[in-house]
Structure 1
C-alpha cells in the first residue's frame, strides 16, 4: 500500500481503504497494538506538557497512555471539539473520572476549564490521531480539518507525532497546501520513527 507507482489515489479513496482495514482487525490485535503503544510512550523522554487524545472507534491506542504520560510527570492536554469547526480547544486531563462524552458520538473529552486553541503552543509533544502518515510527514486524517487548523498554533520546536498502525506508515500520500506535516510517527512495532524518512 502506498507506493504511488500508479499515481496517488485521492484522499477519499485512501480513507475508505484504511478505515476498512482497521475494521477488519480482531479485538486481540487492537488490544496488543494498544499495549505496544503504551510501552513505546513509557520509554520516551517526555516534555513538561504533552497534547494527547482519547482514541475512539478503531483508532490505535488507549486511555492507558494518558496515565503513563501523567505518571512520568508531564501535564496532559486533551482536545475539545468546537461546535463551529474552528481550531480545537484544549483542557487538562487529570484522570479518567474527568472524561465525559463530547460533541461527537463516541469521543471522550476532558471536563475541565477550556484553555483555548493557543494552549497547544505550551506542548513540547503533540500525539496526533491519523489514518496514515507518509515518509515525508504528510498526514491523512478523517477529513474534518480540526488538527490542521489547530497545529498551526504549535511551537516551532514542538514534535508533531502521528499515531498509526505499522502498515499505515506509507511511502506517499496525497497532500493539500493546508496540510500540516508531522515530524515523526508512532507505531506499535517500529516505535518512534522520525520523519521525513530519506
Structure 2
C-alpha cells in the first residue's frame, strides 16, 4: 500500500476511536512511559502537544514537567521545520499555525532537539522491523529526528494496530528506537 492510502486508512481508524478509548490509551501510555528508568532520568525531553485523535500527550507532558524534566514542545515554522520552546505549565501555551497549541517561551532553534535526552514524536504508524515511522506527510518530524543523536531514545506514540509489518519508506524517512502503544513499549532497534 502506498503512503497516501495507508494514511487515509489509519486516519479513518483513528476517527472511529471513542473519547473513552482515547482517554484509556493516554493513561496506559503515560503510566508505561513514566515507569521506564530512562524516561525518569531524562532531564530534557522533546515531546509534542497532541491534537485531535493523535495519541494524547497533555497528561504526559504535565507529568514530566511536574517530575522536574524540562519539556520542549515544537513550534511549526513557516518552512514546516520545527523550532522548539520550553513548556512551563498549561498556561504557557497558545494556538500556533493550524491551531495546534505551542509554547509562548523563547524559541530555541531547530537544533535544540540535539540536546534532548529523550524524544517523543507522533506517528500514524511504525514499521516493527525497521523502526521507520509514517507521519502526516509534511516531513517536519523527519527533519527533527535527523538531528537527534544515535544513542538518544526516540519514541513514537501509536494507537493499537499502528505498529505494522510493512510501512512504505523513502530515503528521507527517519527511524525511531521505540514504539509505544496502549499494549506496551516495543524496542525496534
Deviations 1:146-170 (A, max 9, x none): 0111111112211111110121011
1:55 maps to 50
Q: Does 1:88 align with 2:78?
A: no
Gaps of 5+ in 1: 1-8
CA distance in 2, matches of 1:142, 1:36: 24
- CA deviations on 1:158-191 (whole Å, 9 max, x unpaired) are 111111012101111000000111111111122x
What's 2:11 paired with?
19
Q: How many residues matched?
A: 185
Q: Which residue of 1 aligns with 2:122?
A: 129
What is the TM-score when the length of structure 1 is the normalising length?
0.90
**Partner residue, 1:79:** 74
Runs of at least 5 residues in structure 2 that lack an aligned partner in the other structure: none
Q: Please list, as runs of the form range in 1=range in 2, the aligned pairs for 1:31-180 lying within 5 A after superposition.
A: 31-45=23-37, 46=39, 47-85=42-80, 87-105=81-99, 107-135=100-128, 136-180=130-174
Decide whether the 8 Å contact of 2:48 with 2:57 is kept in 1: no
Structure 1: 4+ residue segments shifted above 4 A: none
Q: Deviations over 1:107-154 (max 9, x none)?
A: 100000000011101111110100010112010000010011111111
Give distance in 2, aligned partners of 1:101 and 1:75: 21
